[in-house]
Amino acid sequence: MSLSRTISEAFAPLVDLVYPPRCPLCGDGLGEQSGLCLSCWETLALPREPSCTSCQRPLGDDTHEGMTCAACMQDPPKHDGIATGTIYNDTSRKLVLSFKHGRKIALAPMLAGMIRARLAGLEGEWLAVPVPLHRLRLWSRGFNQSALLARELAKAENVELVVDGLVRTKPTPSLGGLGKRERARALQGAISPHPKRTDLLKGANVLLVDDVLTSGETTNACVSVLRRAGAKRVKIACFSRVLDEAL
C-alpha cells in the first residue's frame, strides 16, 4: 500500500466529519466520499451483453457472443475495441457536465472506475493517451478532463501515462450539430503526435481515453494519427457513449 493511500485512509474519518459524504447528483447522504446513491445509480444506463466484437455496441437479445454489428461490417473500425463505462443518458450527462464544466474534478476516480469495469484485462505493456485539447481551450478550462481520466486509469491498470502523446495543433469549433462530413473536415489536420513522443508511440499498445464518445469523429481522427505514428493497437476507453438505440 502506497504512503499516499495510507495517509488518505487515515484521514478519511476526519474528512467525512467535516464534509459529510453526499451523492454528487442528488445530494443525498452516502457512506463514503465516492460513488452515487442507490437511486441515482439505478438511473445509469450500463452496457450490456451480447455486444459487437469490434466496437462493443450492444446487440439484440436474439444474437449471441462473437457477432459483429452491421455498422462495423459495413465500415470496419481502425481501432481495436471500445470500453465504455455507461451509455449516454440524462444521468451520465449530468455527471459529465459536473465533471467537465462544473469543475468537479474529484469525480475522476469514480468515472475512471466505471470505465475500468468494462476494460478486459490489458495484456502486455500499454500507454494511456488522452484525447487532446487545444491550448486555448485548456487555458480556458484549466484542465483536460480526458487527461484526468487517463491518469486514474494509468494508476489503476499500472500502465504508463503519456499525457501529451497527442496534441491538438489548431482550435476546432464545437462539433455539436455538425454532420459527419463537417465534423471530419473540422478535425482535418487538427491532431498530431507530439514530436517528442513519436518513438514512444511506434509499436505501442495505446489506450485512447476520452470522456464522451458521440459521433466518434474525434476519436477516429486520434486513432488514424496513432496508426500513422506506428501504434500497434489502439483501444478506446470512455466514460459514456452516445448510443440512442441501446437505451
Q: What is the pLDDT of residues 178-206, one digit of tens each?
A: 667 777 787 888 899 999 999 999 999 99
Q: How far apart are CA 178 and CA 240, in angstroms?
A: 20
The mean pLDDT of the chain is 86
**What is the mean pLDDT of the segment spanning 81-92?**
95
pTM: 0.88
The DSSP bridge partners found for residue 128 are 161, 207
Give the C-alpha separation, 25 to 92, whole Å: 10
CA gap 38, 21 in Å, rounded: 14
Q: What is the pLDDT of residues 51-80, one digit of tens each?
A: 888 888 888 777 777 788 888 899 889 999
Enumerate helices (H) and strands (E) in the chain, giving the number of each: 10, 7
User: What is the per-residue pLDDT for 177?
Assistant: 66
Please name the fold of domain 46-246: Rossmann fold (3.40.50)
Domains in the chain: boundaries = 1-42, 46-246
* Over residues 121-135, mean pLDDT: 92
Residue with cell 445530494: 27
Beta strands, E only, the chain: 82-87, 126-130, 160-161, 166-168, 191-193, 205-213, 233-241
- pLDDT tens figures, 146-174: 999 999 999 999 999 999 999 999 887 67
Helix axes 108-116, 90-100, angle to 10 degrees: 130
pLDDT of 8 higher than 50 = no
